[in-house]
């Protein structure tokens, strides 16, 4: 993978390459985007939305509850990742402090959130689950590559600020230098996208 | 008091007008049947009322106010295309609705389920279409709403369940409820509705009681005589049209009172008269033709 800054032979290098460079983003992005795209769009496409909206809850409340459910799913998987990594790293003697592991896991989870929120927004705007997944996965892939390649190509470097992966700083977190400000920024961005999704869904014409 | 009131309610999809200038008033304590062929705008109307789609023009008030989440707690709704969460049992689904509606008491739901002979312990995905429809009805009434809006409530129900549902609906009305439902089956409307509105191509063409609708509808009468009778004998009688004579048989269509027609027929040696009750299609045709004449 591109993000390997240290040799695979070292503990940190192994984790960067195999876990945080590949497995963690794949799983966490998959859950965030998959669940968020389902949130309103799947209910609409499967025709369960009419009945759901006939209940005395506001559409904003519905979107916020759905967003909270996605967040809960991401949190559960993140916690499982953290437990397995801390235990596994100790057992295998990878020599990475548990605090750094936790920070890296958290950063991996937080970077998935804006992409999940994007899927939520597109689902709320269009009612199309496939489109929500496609656009969000595309954006995630583009952002990931932009961040990874900018380490290799100087010409790309100024553009990497556009990538949430740059601000998440997973690899830096793993070596004891987490970017808390960047992570906070991603959380704020996620919040704005969720608010946008709620506003979009308030106006949405539910398909019959 | 009007429980439902719409003013110039209009819904356009691109160039298609699904609903045009609907002024609908449903009074407290009545059953209002919205009749029309498929695509006439019935479902559009009900979905506008429940606020899942928004009007292009016009306004809606329910219980005298615009729709709000709070107001939805007073309304029960059955969608035309009913899809439930397959993995939940009927009881789970009702508990889920109860939580959203802040109405945990399943007493009313259990009563109606029993009356409709619906097993609430089965997963909705395993239910037949008719049983799913029953569950749809049960959830609509579960929280004892003040108003029910039902899109084709009898669809998929067997005659026994239909009769039981109609009896329940009457009791619900007697208990102070109000109902608006859509149907394309006249017999259903006949049994339960106090008033009927007919939608054709997005416009409310007539609004009346079932009895007077039927009285004004075209009925087909067939007279069998012992001799040949000329068609011309019957043309010119008020309300009679499309007279056809074949051998000893005369067929015609008539609207309104049939007295003069029957008296005329009785002057010949009349063997038999058969009358076909107007079905909804005849009534639709009648009003479509009428509208055509106006243009």
**Which conformational region is residue B156 in: left (phi greater than 0), alpha (psi within -120 to 50 degrees), or beta?**
left
- What's the token pair of residue A90? 């100790």
Model pLDDT for residues B118-133, shown as the tens digit of each residue: 999 999 999 999 999 9
Strands B2-13 and B25-27 come out as antiparallel
pLDDT band at B294, cuts 50/70/90?
very low
Query: Dihedral sign, CA of B59, B61, B64, B65?
Result: negative
CB atoms closer than 10 angstroms to residue A181:
9
User: Which of A40, A51, A62 is the best mutation test for B, with the most CBs of B within 10 A?
Assistant: A51
pLDDT for the residue numbered B167? 95
Examine the pLDDT at B236 and tell me if it is beyond 90: no
Query: Is pLDDT larger for residue B268 or for residue A122?
Result: A122
Separation between Cα atoms, residue B267 and residue B264, nearest integer Å: 6
CB neighbour class for A199 (10 Å; exposed up to 12, middle 13-18, buried from 19): middle
Measure CB to CB from residue A54 to each of B70, B72, B85 and give the nearest one.
B72
Query: Dihedral sign, CA of A51, B131, A46, A67?
Result: positive
- B89 strand-pairing partners: B123
CB B278 within 8 A of CB B218: yes
The torsion of the CA quartet B209, B211, B212, B214, rounded to 10 degrees, works out to: 120
Examine the pLDDT at A7 and tell me if it is beyond 60: no
Q: What count of residues does chain A have?
A: 208
**Every domain of chain A and the residues it spans:** 11-203
- pLDDT-wise least confident of A3-17, A50-64, B64-78, B240-254: A3-17
Averaged pLDDT of chain B: 90
Interface of chain B against chain A, CB under 8 Å? 43, 47, 50-54, 69-73, 75, 77, 79-85, 97, 100-102, 139
B161-184 average pLDDT score: 95
Examine the pLDDT at A191 and tell me if it is beyond 80: yes
Measured distance between the N- and C-terminal CA atoms of chain B, rounded to whole angstroms: 35
The torsion of the CA quartet B60, B65, B66, B70, rounded to 10 degrees, works out to: -130
CB atoms closer than 10 angstroms to residue A6:
16
Nearest to A82 by CA among A113, A111, A107, A116: A107
pLDDT band at A87, cuts 50/70/90?
very high
- B221 strand-pairing partners: B252, B275
With beta carbons under 8 A apart, name residues in chain A contacting B50. 50, 53-54
Enter the ipTM. Answer: 0.83
Which range, B78-87, B139-148, B208-217, is most confident?
B139-148
Separation between Cα atoms, residue B201 and residue B40, nearest integer Å: 5
B193-219 average pLDDT score: 85
With beta carbons under 8 A apart, name residues in chain B contacting A47. 79, 81, 83
B14-23 average pLDDT score: 94
A80-104 average pLDDT score: 90
């Amino acid at each position: 993978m591109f993000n390997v800054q240290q040799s695979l032979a070292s503990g940190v290098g192994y984790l960067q390459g195999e876990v945080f460079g590949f497995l963690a983003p794949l799983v966490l992005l998959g859950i965030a985007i998959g669940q968020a795209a389902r949130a309103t769009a799947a209910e609409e496409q499967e025709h369960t939305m009419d009945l759901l909206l006939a209940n005395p809850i506001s559409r904003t409340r519905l979107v916020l509850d759905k967003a909270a459910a996605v967040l809960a799913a991401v949190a559960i998987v993140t916690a499982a990742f953290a437990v397995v990594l801390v235990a596994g790293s100790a057992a295998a003697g990878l020599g990475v402090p548990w605090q750094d592991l936790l920070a890296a896991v958290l950063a991996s989870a937080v970077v998935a959130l804006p992409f999940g929120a994007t899927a939520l927004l597109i689902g709320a705007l269009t009612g199309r689950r496939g489109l929500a997944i496609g656009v969000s996965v595309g954006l995630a892939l583009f952002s990931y590559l932009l961040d990874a390649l900018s380490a290799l190509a100087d010409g790309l470097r100024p553009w990497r600020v556009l990538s949430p992966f740059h601000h998440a700083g997973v690899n830096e977190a793993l070596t004891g230098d987490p970017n808390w400000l960047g992570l906070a920024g991603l959380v704020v961005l996620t919040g704005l996208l969720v608010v946008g999704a709620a506003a979009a869904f308030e106006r949405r014409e539910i398909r019959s | 008091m009007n429980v439902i009131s719409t003013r110039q309610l209009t819904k356009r999809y691109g160039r298609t007008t699904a609903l045009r200038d609907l002024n609908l008033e449903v009074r407290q304590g009545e059953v209002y049947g919205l009749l029309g062929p498929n695509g006439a705008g019935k479902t559009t109307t009900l979905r506008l009322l429940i606020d899942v789609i928004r009007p292009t023009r016009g306004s809606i008030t329910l219980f005298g106010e615009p729709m709000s989440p709070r107001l939805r707690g007073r309304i029960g709704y059955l969608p035309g295309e009913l899809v439930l969460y397959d993995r939940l049992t009927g009881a789970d689904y009702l508990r889920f609705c109860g939580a959203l509606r802040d109405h945990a008491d399943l007493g009313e739901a259990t009563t109606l389920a029993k009356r409709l002979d619906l097993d609430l312990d089965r997963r909705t995905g395993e239910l037949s279409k008719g049983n799913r429809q029953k569950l749809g009805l049960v959830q609509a009434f579960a929280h004892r709403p003040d108003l029910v809006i039902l899109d084709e409530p009898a669809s998929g129900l067997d005659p026994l369940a239909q009769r039981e549902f109609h009896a329940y609906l009457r009791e619900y009305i007697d208990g102070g409820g109000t109902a608006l439902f859509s149907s394309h089956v006249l017999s259903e409307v006949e049994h339960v509705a106090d008033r009927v509105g007919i939608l054709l191509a997005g416009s409310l063409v007539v609004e009346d009681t079932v009895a007077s609708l039927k009285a004004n509808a075209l009925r087909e009468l067939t007279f069998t005589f012992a001799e040949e009778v000329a068609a011309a004998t019957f043309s010119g009688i008020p309300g009679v049209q499309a007279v056809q004579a074949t051998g000893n048989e005369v067929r015609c269509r008539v609207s309104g009172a049939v007295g003069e027609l029957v008296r005329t027929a009785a002057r010949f040696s009349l063997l038999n008269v058969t009358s076909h009750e107007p079905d909804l299609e005849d009534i639709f045709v009648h009003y479509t033709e009428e509208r055509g004449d106006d243009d």
